[in-house]
Amino acid sequence: MSNFLLWLVGFVFVALPSTRFYRLKTLLLAACGVKVAKSARIVSSVKIVGTGELSIGDDTFIGHYVSIFCSPPGISIGSYVDIAPNVVIVNGTHQVDMDGLHTAGKGVCNRIIIEDGVWIGASATILTGVKIGKKSIIAAGAVVNSDVPEYSISAGVPAKTIKTWNPVTKMWLKSNG
């Protein structure tokens, strides 16, 4: 992705109605190097920064004021994903350096994978290196710093799995921890 082109596209996005012209927005993001499906719906206030590979699947919705910080190796957002307002997705962090002048040491970036059908609630934070399994739900305000199993609900800081969907009984089961 081109950081400079993303910056320019940000000015165009601001001039567009928030929840209209989705196809134009996907075309503009594709011109910046984002692998984005034609049917993706991206709200104008979304902020995308970085040079990593970003892919966004079919019929995915990315809501108001979502921030995506994408460094190599990148972020993969599947199809049919719903991302609520004010979500932050960041695939970079720093090693802790207690010997240097800055505690934030060497930068580290790991791939984030958000599988198909995931629903991420408002103001959640998705941190580097996590995989969120198919059809999972991330509660509003959760901080996801480890993998989330498919067909589950995770909540809290840090996020923990609180329920898992049983496809046989078609019921949610409480998790043990």
- The catalytic site residues sit at 94
Q: Which two tokens stand for residue 29?
A: 């993001």
Three-state DSSP at 73 gives coil
Output the six-digit token pair for 31: 């011109």
Tell the residue number behind the tokens 């898992």, with chain if given.
164
**Distance (Å, whole) CA 152 – CA 168:** 14
